[in-house]
Amino acid sequence: MFHLALKMLMGDRAKYIMLVGGLTFATLLMTQQNAVFQGLLSWTTSHLRNMRAAIWVVEAHVESANETKPLRDTDVNRVRSVTGVDFAVPLFQGILRAKTASGADKQVMLIGLHGATLFGRPPQMLGGDLALLRLPNTVVIDELGVQRLSQGRSRPIAIGDTFEINDREARIVGICRTERHFFGYPYVYSSYDQALQFAPRQRKMLSAILVQPKPGLDAAEVARRIGAETGMRAFTSDEFAKVTVDYIWKTTGIPVSFLTTIILGFIVGIAVSGQTFYSFVLENLRHLGALKAMGASTWLLARMLLLQAFTVGLIGYGMGLGLTALFGFLVLPIGQPPFLLQPSSLLLTGVALVVICSFAALLGIVKVARLEPAIVFRG
Amino acid sequence: MSSSNSIAVQVRGVTKSFGVGDSRTVALKGVDFSTREGELHLVVGPSGCGKTTLLSVVAGTLDWDGGEIDVLGTRLNGMAKGAVTAFRGKHVGFIFQQFNLIPTLTCIENVSVPLLLNGRHRGEAERRAAELLTTVGLADTGRKRPTELSGGQQQRVAIARALSHEPRLLICDEPTSALDSATGHQIMDLLATAARKPGRCVIIVTHDPRIYGYADRITVMEDGRVTQVLEGEALRHFIETHQ
């Protein structure tokens, strides 16, 4: 009987398309929005992955990795004096104006690395020589920087070209690849001393201290010790990522906004599929009554309805995921909007679809359970 | 047919009402009814007299309030709904006024439904369905959908469906009402042939006097009661006066 149930479902083309369409749309909405949200959350901690420091030491009131409150230069030595610290290096990070060849201003994320160690160096060099950062006025830019700073040039900006950062000339000595920063600005790397030349002068210029614990020591324990002895906040990279994500959840409307859209997708799925499937059952009530009269039990009819609901659910789920993946393939090379499709997102949408299909089937099953087969004798 | 054939359906003092309070309608007021194996039995009467309700309770598709019903030697009183459904699926075939064929299925698939419900495999059920369609003169329509057929052809598909699992009781609700005279007679020929099969009986509820001549017996109902049971000479006289 189950093959007939599927033929009954697919034979009603309009309702079948409406059901699959509604569930595809619901899946797309829930999965795509979840992926964009996960991507956005991933961006909030991309800076930590780009720098790859074991321990971050920041000012006592810093609440996320994307926030900078300056420290005193002497704080580096205070950290170095803590037991268990193998080495500690200063880091400058700040948003500065860069001028393109066309004269337009572009914001960049300037990173000043400790000159001797270049600790926190870019994750991947695509060309040039990072060591040349030790020369005056030199920088390494990432691919987004190439894209943004090429404005007004006949060809993309490249190694050997110059541009201005805060009215000072910067010469490109390397191109690197980074994960995009939460703020969406391109990374421009220089030495720490050079960064202080590019940046407007302030009383305190040190943004953070990057620390490597001694081999064999637990980074979390060393971070706790640094915090206790210096009064600054010290996090392992994972702890800092968690604090940053928590900060986004608690202090911004971003999660609520995405959750609202995801919930709307769920409601649209429930409403469209529930209403359409119920209408499908109502239109077939006479036939279901005839089947009941001919000896089909309520349990058999319920299983037929479940099969129908879950078939359209599975097709809608597959098509929705396909469209989400297509969206991902289209936007990932561009780099925005953020997109991170995780297995947990697929599972979550799958569970939502199961709930939607069960609800839709249940509406029909209740109707069928109450159906008197004698309905077939009414004119 | 012989009057010594055993009783197929026995209904004693059956009552049935719908609604409650002021809107309560009594459809059956202590109906006694019986039909024998090998018999084509018509139930006639004006609209609202309770004949379709009687058909529904005999078929086990509608609960009744009081009285006893025996069908093919089985007492329906007190049977669980699931058991009644299973009994109906095995022993009862249905033919409806509006055919009730599933429009999205082919004729073969429609005919195979009772066989599938009785546990036959799909291939076997469809082979048997094709044979039955040939028997009712629709050999070439197996892959067509009911909506592609005329009313008479659809009713013949419905007859093939009703007979597919060899039921002993055939319940027919106004099987010729939606058909022209010639087609109605073709349908009745098929039903009369089906009724002759040993151990089977056919009960037809109808308004259509054109088919009275096919009856072995006619039960006349009025206002929820059986007023006449006609056979033999009385039946011939009734038919003559109504045609």
Q: Of B62, B102, B114, which is closest to A374 when you measure between CB atoms?
A: B62
Q: Is A292 on the interface with B (CB under 8 A)?
A: yes
pTM recorded for the entire structure: 0.77
Q: Which of A231, A266, A293 is the last residue in one of the domains?
A: A231
- The one-character DSSP state at A97 is E
Of B61, B86, B122, which has the smallest distance from its Cβ to A293's Cβ? B61
B52 touching A (Cβ < 8 Å): yes
**A11, A295, A374: residue with CB nearest B89:** A295
Structure confidence by residue, pLDDT tens digits, B201-210: 889 998 888 8
Maximum CA extent, chain B: 54
Q: How confident is the model at residue B2 (pLDDT cuts 50, 70, 90)?
A: very low
Tokens for A277, please give them. 């499937």
Q: Do A273 and A221 belong together in one domain?
A: no
Rounded to a whole number of angstroms, the distance from the CA of A359 to the nearest CA of chain B is 25
Report CA torsion sign: A79, A80, A86, A90. Answer: positive
Band (pLDDT 50/70/90 cuts) for residue B1 is: very low
Tokens 């099987």 belong to B175
User: In angstroms, what CA-CA distances link A236 with A32, A67, A83, A242, B5?
Assistant: 31, 16, 16, 10, 94
End-to-end CA distance of chain B: 23
Enumerate the residues of chain B whose CB falls inside 8 A of the CB of residue A379: 97-98
Does residue B143 belong to the interface with chain A, where contact is any CB pair within 8 Å? no
Asked whether residue A131 is domain-assigned, the answer is yes
Do A257 and A219 share a structural domain? Answer: no
Q: Which of A107-116, B80-89, B119-128, B227-236 has the highest mean pLDDT?
A: A107-116
CB contact under 8 A, A4 and B102: yes
CA B20 distance to own-chain centroid = 29
| Element holding A144 (H helix, E strand) | helix A143-149
pLDDT above 70: residue B5: no
CB contact under 8 A, A295 and B85: yes
- Supply A202's token pair: 């302030």
The verdict on a CB contact (< 8 Å) between B116 and A286 is no
pLDDT at A374 over 80: no
pLDDT score of A119: 92
ipTM score assigned to the predicted complex: 0.81
Whether residues B85 and A3 touch (CB distance < 8 A) is answered with: no
What are the pLDDT digits (tens) for A318-360? 999 999 999 998 988 777 788 888 898 899 889 988 988 888 8
To the nearest whole angstrom, how far is the Cα of B233 from the nearest Cα of chain A?
32
pLDDT greater than 90 at residue A239: yes
Its sign, for the CA torsion B155, B160, B164, B167, is positive
What's the domain range around A133?
72-231
Among A8, A295, A377, select the one facing B86 at the smallest CB separation.
A295
**Separation CA B135–CA B132 (nearest Å):** 5
Residues of A in contact with B52 (CB under 8 A): 377-378
Indicate if the pLDDT at residue B3 is higher than 50. no
B27 in a structural domain:
no
Residue of A nearest to B59 (CA): A293
Which has more pLDDT, A162 or B240? Answer: A162
In a domain, A236, yes or no: no
Number of structural domains (chain B) is: 1
Q: Are B47 and B223 contacting, i.e. CB atoms less than 8 angstroms apart?
A: no
From A308's Cα to the closest Cα of chain B, the distance in A is 14
- Residue A49 domain-assigned (yes or no): no
- What does the pLDDT average to over A245-255? 87
Average pLDDT of chain A to the nearest whole number: 89
pLDDT at A307: 93
What is the rounded average pLDDT of the residues B15-33? 86
User: Do A101 and A199 share a domain, yes or no?
Assistant: yes
Q: Residue A67 falls within a domain, yes or no?
A: no
- The domain in which residue B219 lies consists of 36-56+80-242
* Residue of chain A nearest B89, judged by CA positions: A295
How many domains, in total, are found in chain A?
Answer: 2
- CATH code at position B183: 3.40.50.300
Q: What is the mean pLDDT of residues A54-66?
A: 91
Residue B126 token pair: 């469809």
- Cβ A4–B86 below 8 Å, yes or no? no
Average pLDDT over residues A144-154: 91
A201 with A135, same domain? yes
Segment B151-180, tens digit of pLDDT: 888 888 888 888 888 888 988 888 777 777
Quote the pLDDT of residue A274: 79
The percent of residues above 70 in pLDDT, for chain A, comes to 99
User: Can you tell me the mean pLDDT for A187-201?
Assistant: 93
User: Model confidence over B101-153: pLDDT tens digits?
Assistant: 888 889 999 999 999 988 889 888 889 888 888 887 777 888 888 888 888 88
* 3 state SS of A119: coil
What is the Cα–Cα distance from B69 to B91, expressed in whole angstroms? 15
In a domain, B205, yes or no: yes
Secondary structure (DSSP) of A39-80:
HHHHHHTHHHHHH--SEEEE-TT--STT----B-TTHHHHHH
What is the three-class DSSP state of A140?
strand
Q: Residue A11: its chain B contacts at CB < 8 A?
A: 103-105
Q: Which whole number is the average pLDDT over B87-97? A: 86
Q: Is residue B28 part of a domain?
A: no
Domain identity same for A226 and A314:
no
Cβ-defined contact of A293 to B88 (cutoff 8 Å):
yes
Subunit contact B52:A11, Cβ cutoff 8 A = no
* Confidence at residue A16, expressed as pLDDT on a 0 to 100 scale: 87
The mean per-residue pLDDT over the stretch A68-91 comes to: 92
Place of tokens 């780099």: A335
CB contacts, 8 Å: A378 with chain B: 52
Residue A224 and residue A80 share a domain: yes
Asked if the structure places residue A66 within a domain, the reply is: no
Run of H or E including B152: helix B151-163
Would you state the pLDDT for residue A212?
Answer: 93
Considering the domain architecture, whether residues A221 and A141 belong to the same structural domain is answered as yes
Spell out the alpha helix ranges (H) of A252-376. 254-283, 285-293, 298-331, 343-369
Q: Quick one: pLDDT at residue A378?
A: 65
Looking at residues A256-275, what average pLDDT do you find? 84
